[in-house]
Amino acid sequence: MQLASFDIFDTTLIRKCGKPENIFYLLAHKLYPNDTAKREDFIVWRKRAAAKMSKELKKVELTLFDIYKEKGVTSFSEYSIEELVALEIETEKENLIANPSVAEIINKKRVEGYQIAFISDMYIGSTELRHILNKERCIEAEDKIYVSCEIQARKDSGLLYKHVKEELSPKHWEHYGDNLYSDIKIAKKNGIKAITIKTHSNSLEHRLEAISCSQPALRELSVIAGISRCARIIGNNPYAAIAANYVASTYIPFVKWTIETARKEGIKTLYFLSRDSYILLKIAESLPHEGIEFKYLYISRRSLMRPYMHNSSPENYLEIVDRHTLIGRDVEHMLWQLLTTEKDLKERYGIEFSYKRISDKKQEAEFIDVLYNSKFSKDFQKEIKEESDSLIEYLKQEEVTADTRKAFVDVGWLGTSRLMINSILERNGYKPVEFIYLGTRNDVYPCSYGKYYSYFPAGTLNTNMTSVIENYYSASPYPTTIGYKKTEEIYIPIFPENKSVNYSTIVNENVATSVWIAKEMNRYGIKDHNILSAWAMLTLDSLAGMKDNIDTTPFTISNDFDNEIFAKKLSFPELTNFLFFGKRITHFDYASLIHTCGFTLSHSLMRIHNITNKLRGYIFRRYIIRK
């Protein structure tokens, strides 16, 4: 007979809440939802009760009933021992979920004719464990369960393995487990082929655990770390890992705060802006939001810029340009934003630029003159008048112009879209709209361009993360919107040629993982914004500094972002340009650096980049911008 045995906890089944002690925390909240003192007393007692009863009863392994016979249980006399045991088992059941990769192995071994057995050092009996495993579809009637509390023999002593061997006499035995001592070392010592199942917390989850232990006010970070870990394990791929550890931790706190802000401010409709806010909408839909309507609005900087420039001045144009200067900007990219090209200007109007990047005030003036005082500008104004009218009709259709309290949800930064949309609305006789941002820059446009709320205070977010957030965290199935057209009495967005809706792996994993975590956190009742913001800031800081040796594969193979690679292996010239001349090579150059040079060396090289970046900034401010 061939035997395949599986450890149960942290191998076959994963606790959504994380470490076992969190079961006591959740149970305490069930027992005493409105009594903080009794909750704390129960947690302290439950952690110590097993050790006390083990000494008293001198048993190899206690049962749950043994533990609840400890004399301190009288402090919780509102409940009988039977009720306390039943509630703890119920809490365990609620928090256990199958590990898909192990469930797959179990099924494979069953098909191959192996006898399946489950072996656990645990105080919960086989009857209850069978019920949980059956609920998670991991066990069948003929499968065996061996539990230390019933057999009075443990894996870590080797005696439980000996018991199984005597009973089943397998000719070939494979054991799968997560514990390197009891599941691997001791199993091998007993002649068993042992296979490690990796379900341990990663470095980021360990840091969340450490903070939860050192700061009592942030205790729920331990549960959050457990939920993230569970989502990462369930996903079982690098995309899900990034989503669980970084994307969800940034966006779930923001979305919860956004819904609360809307309630507090009397905002009845939240418009989630394409493309960045697609994932935010999906998270919001998974959370309670009674009384608040959600809508998805197809708007982008490119769809707003041309209508905004209708009847505008050069000063208006410079107002929506970062730092209000064109110096240092790529000509082709600026024309791309305006939905034209250098080739088109040359062929239609005979206009050519002798430079690829604007380097001084004279070239800046020449470029602006093409936009406002040339053959091109006349046709341009005619085109954008039509586009401005189409935009207004689309906004009317989506009830943006209705006289109700509403807000647009966006990731943020400078506020260019807010400036443009409110200028367009006011020009056409409508009220400006409010915005709710994840974060803003220190030079964010003021409320005179429209009221706004920001989850993170201005300048809080690491500038290295803005591209990552906007392009990877906010990966969307929809291409950027470049305009609007009317079909069958409704206005629909126009996407760039050869672009279509695409639900990529990044989009699917970011959304599915974040929504799953959001639902679990809501089920646990985790809503303290001090805890949630601490979670967000720690994970943002971790990815910005690449503190965790993560699998960067999702970054390196991505092509979701306007056909630009998010990260890649850098050539020597590219590496030199990045380190010493500040040239942006990819959307996420830090990940590219790690992919090229390895985790350890990359941190030293990044320090060189940061030093030269400061020097370049000084030279730009001192010698170029003042020309």
* 142 phi/psi in degrees, rounded to 5: -80, -5
Q: Contact 405/265 with Cβ under 8 angstroms?
A: yes
Q: What is the DSSP letter of 481?
A: P
Cis peptide before 275 (omega within 30 of 0): yes
- Give the integer Cα–Cα distance in Å for 358 and 72: 77
- Give the integer Cα–Cα distance in Å for 438 and 255: 9
Mean pLDDT, to the nearest integer, of 417-426? 96
Closest-CA residue to 120 (of 95, 144, 97): 144
Closest-CA residue to 521 (of 238, 256, 136, 210): 256
- Give the integer Cα–Cα distance in Å for 566 and 555: 5
* 566 phi/psi in degrees, rounded to 5: -75, -40
Within a 10 A sphere around the Cβ of 487, how many other Cβ atoms?
7
pLDDT value of residue 621: 67
Mean pLDDT, to the nearest integer, of 280-292? 97
Structure-token pair, residue 185: 């070392």
Question: Mean of the per-residue pLDDT values for the chain?
Answer: 92
Closest-CA residue to 200 (of 220, 175, 223, 225): 225
Type of residue found at 145: I
CA-based angle 273:453:251, to the nearest 5? 55
- Give the integer Cα–Cα distance in Å for 60 and 156: 11
Strands 144-147, 193-196: pairing kind: unpaired
The runs of H, that is alpha helices, within 266-341 are 278-285, 301-308, 314-319, 331-337
Tokens 């998805």, residue? Answer: 296
Using a 10 angstrom Cβ sphere, with 0-12 exposed, 13-18 middle and 19 or more buried, the burial of residue 9 is buried
Structural domains of the chain sorted by starting position, each given as residue range(s) with its CATH number in brackets = 1-198 (3.40.50.1000), 302-389 (no CATH), 567-624 (no CATH)
- Give the integer Cα–Cα distance in Å for 572 and 404: 56
Q: Contact 19/226 with Cβ under 8 angstroms?
A: yes
Strands 172-177, 193-196: pairing kind: parallel
pLDDT value of residue 563: 53
Type of residue found at 219: R
Mean pLDDT, to the nearest integer, of 529-556? 92
Q: Contact 31/38 with Cβ under 8 angstroms?
A: yes
- Give the integer Cα–Cα distance in Å for 362 and 340: 22
Is the pLDDT at 560 greater than 90? The verdict is: no
Q: Contact 402/430 with Cβ under 8 angstroms?
A: no
Is the pLDDT at 558 greater than 80? The verdict is: no
pLDDT in tens, 561-580: 555 678 889 999 899 988 88
Query: pTM for this one?
Result: 0.92
Q: What is the three-class DSSP state of 492?
A: strand
pLDDT in tens, 238-271: 999 999 999 999 999 999 999 999 999 999 999 9
